[in-house]
Amino acid sequence: MVNIAILASGNGSNFEAITKYLHKKKIARVSLLIYDNPKAYVKVRAEKLKVKSVFIDPKKFKGRREFEQEIIKTLKKHKIKKIALAGFMRVLSPYFVRQFPMRIINIHPSLLPAFPGTNAIRKAYQHAVKITGVTVHFVDEKVDHGPIIWQESVKISAKDTLKTLEAKIHKVEHRIYPKIVEYFCQAKIKVNKRKVKIG
């Protein structure tokens, strides 16, 4: 069984969706949560789901490299081969990514390359676009840039508020991300010159 780690910083709804899904499938399991925010609710979710969690405080390190080295050390200690980011509010450095080439995936709440970076849902709403969505992609050395694994669109209606749009986005995330993580753990996602094939 493949052990996967999830890196998160906040509420952890995607963490919970993935963990429950993989538990039912019994093909892979979330064996570790690493979080960087002491107030993150994801810690509570991990406790309820009996997933080992490790808090790594970035304030305790001289800089980004030392902080990332501690994460890498923890991942290797727990024999983690694959990583999923789920609301991890830090950009991983090229140094970190090179330790796990094509073994880190992320979910982003927009149709990349539109609205990369933070506050993507808010940006789409404020720009009054008609369609936004969700992207699952490999993590490479640039921000929200790696090969796209899966995208699904979400329509923005005239009646939508920022809150209802966020709810729509999260509903899609919770449906598609666990399935993509399953394929990821089963090595069913192949990449050739940024072209991704599943199966």
- Cβ burial, residue 50 (10 Å; 0-12/13-18/19+): exposed
CA distance 19 to 50: 10
Query: What average pLDDT does range 156-181 have in this prediction?
Result: 97
Quote the domain boundaries for residue 45: 2-198
Buried b (16+ CB within 10 A) or exposed e, 151-184: eeebebeeeeeeeebeebbbebbbebbbebbbbb
Query: What average pLDDT does range 165-174 have in this prediction?
Result: 97
CA distance 104 to 27: 18
pLDDT band at 27 (very low <50, low <70, confident <90, very high): confident
Query: What average pLDDT does range 50-67 have in this prediction?
Result: 96
Q: What total number of domains does the chain contain?
A: 1
Sign of the Cα torsion 73, 55, 33, 111 reads negative
CATH code at position 170: 3.40.50.170
pLDDT band at 199 (very low <50, low <70, confident <90, very high): confident
pLDDT tens string 104-156: 999 999 999 999 999 999 999 999 999 999 999 999 999 999 999 999 999 99
Lookup: tokens for 171? 């509903």
Residues assigned a catalytic role: 108
